[in-house]
C-alpha cells in the first residue's frame, strides 16, 4: 500500500511576500484604469471644496463679495442659489481628473521603471524627477483644458451666466479664441502640476519607504495608506498653493498673464493667500 507523506506548509517568508508584491505590480493599463477610477471618485467627493478654493482665487467682481471662510462660502451660495450652483464645472473636472490621474500614474510608473537601478530602487531625487515628468505630461494632455473649462464655469456662475453647460462653454471658447483658448494658462499649469506631482509622489513614496523600514512591513491597511496619503497631500498643498492661485487667475473668464496675476494677487491679498 502506498504511503502518503504530508509535508507541513510553512508560512511565506518576508522575502517571499516581497517577491509576490513585486510580481503583482500593476501593468501600465492597470495603472491607467486604477488611477482614472480613483481620480474620478476623488473629484466627485471633494468638488465643493475645489469650488470654494477656485472661487476664492478669482478676482472679486463688482457687487459680488464672497465670504472668506470656504465653508461659509459654500453654505451661503448653496442656500441662496441652490446646491447645484456649487457644482458648476463639476462634470468637466471629474472627467479631467479621471484622465489626469490615469495619465499621472501611468507616466509615473513608466518613468520610475526607467530610472530605477538594477535592484529596482529609486532615490529621492529620481522619485522627484519621475513626479515632475508625470505632472508635466498630465498638464498638457488633461489638466489645462479641463481646468480652463472648470474655472470659466465657476467664474461664469457668479456673473452674467453666459454659459449653461461645460459643453456650451467649450464650444464658445473654441469659436471665440480658437483651440488654443482651451490651453490658456498652460505654462502656469505645467509649473503647478510638475511641482504638485513631484512633491506628492516623492513625499508619498518616501513616507511608504520610511514606514516599511521602521515597521518591517509595507503599508498594508486602508487606514495606514489613508494616513500617509493625507500627510503627503497636506504637504503638497502648502508647497504648491501659490502656483495654483496664479493658474486660476490665468484661466479665469477674462484671463490674466502670469506677471499680471502675480501683481494682482499681491495687490489684493498680500504675499500669502490663505483665506
How many CB atoms lie under 10 A from the CB of residue 132? 22
Rounded Cα gap, residues 169 and 167, in angstroms? 5
pLDDT digits (tens, 9 = 90+) for 59-85: 765 555 565 677 777 888 788 877 777
Does residue 91 sit within a domain?
Answer: yes
Query: Can you say how many angstroms the Cα of residue 263 is from the centroid of all Cα atoms in its chain?
Result: 26
Q: List alpha helices for 82-221, DSSP H.
A: 90-115, 124-138, 144-157, 166-177, 186-215
Does residue 101 sit within a domain?
Answer: yes
Number of domains in the chain: 1
Q: Give, as one character, the DSSP assignment of residue 252.
A: S
Does residue 11 sit within a domain?
Answer: no
Which of the pair, 263 or 61, is modelled with greater confidence?
263
Quote the pTM value: 0.64
- What's the CATH number where 101 sits? 1.50.40.10
Terminus-to-terminus CA distance in the chain, angstroms? 83
**Band of residue 273 on the pLDDT scale cut at 50, 70, 90:** very low
Does residue 15 sit within a domain?
Answer: no
pLDDT digits (tens, 9 = 90+) for 228-246: 888 988 888 888 888 888 8
Picking from 8-12, 40-44, 181-185, 269-273, which range would have the lowest pLDDT averaged per residue?
Answer: 8-12
Does residue 204 sit within a domain?
Answer: yes
The single residue listed with the C-alpha cell 513608466 is 110
Structure confidence at residue 10 (pLDDT): 47
Does residue 9 sit within a domain?
Answer: no
Q: By the 8 A CB rule, do 169 and 153 touch?
A: yes
Please determine, for residue 37, whether its predicted confidence score (pLDDT) is greater than 70.
yes
Does residue 274 sit within a domain?
Answer: no
Q: Is 118 left (phi over 0), alpha (psi -120 to 50) or beta?
A: alpha
Domain of residue 122 covers 26-269
Does residue 193 sit within a domain?
Answer: yes
Mean pLDDT of the chain: 77
Amino acid at each position: 500500500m502506498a504511503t502518503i507523506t504530508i509535508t507541513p506548509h510553512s508560512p511565506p517568508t518576508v522575502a517571499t511576500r516581497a517577491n509576490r508584491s513585486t510580481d503583482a505590480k500593476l501593468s501600465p493599463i492597470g495603472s491607467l484604469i486604477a488611477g482614472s477610477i480613483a481620480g474620478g471618485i476623488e473629484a466627485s467627493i471633494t468638488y465643493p471644496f475645489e469650488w470654494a478654493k477656485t472661487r476664492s482665487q478669482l478676482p472679486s467682481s463688482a457687487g459680488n463679495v464672497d465670504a472668506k471662510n470656504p465653508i461659509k462660502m459654500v453654505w451661503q451660495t448653496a442656500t441662496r442659489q441652490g446646491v447645484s450652483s456649487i457644482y458648476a464645472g463639476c462634470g468637466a473636472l471629474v472627467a479631467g481628473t479621471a484622465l489626469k490621474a490615469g495619465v499621472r500614474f501611468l507616466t509615473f510608473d513608466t518613468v520610475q521603471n526607467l530610472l530605477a537601478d538594477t535592484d529596482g530602487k529609486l532615490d529621492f531625487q529620481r522619485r522627484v524627477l519621475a513626479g515632475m515628468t508625470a505632472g508635466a505630461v498630465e498638464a498638457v494632455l488633461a489638466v489645462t483644458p479641463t481646468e480652463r473649462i472648470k474655472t470659466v464655469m465657476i467664474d461664469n456662475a457668479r456673473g452674467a451666466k453666459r454659459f449653461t453647460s461645460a459643453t456650451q462653454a467649450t464650444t464658445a471658447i473654441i469659436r471665440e479664441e480658437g483651440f488654443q483658448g482651451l490651453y490658456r494658462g498652460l505654462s502656469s499649469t505645467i509649473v503647478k502640476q510638475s511641482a504638485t506631482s513631484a512633491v506628492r509622489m516623492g513625499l508619498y513614496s518616501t513616507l511608504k519607504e520610511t514606514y516599511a523600514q521602521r515597521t518591517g512591513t509595507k503599508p498594508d491597511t486602508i487606514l495606514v495608506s489613508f494616513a500617509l496619503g493625507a500627510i503627503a497631500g497636506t504637504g503638497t498643498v502648502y508647497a504648491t498653493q501659490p502656483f495654483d492661485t496664479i493658474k486660476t487667475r490665468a484661466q479665469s473668464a477674462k484671463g490674466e498673464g502670469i506677471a499680471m496675476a502675480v501683481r494682482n494677487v499681491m495687490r489684493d491679498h498680500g504675499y500669502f493667500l490663505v483665506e
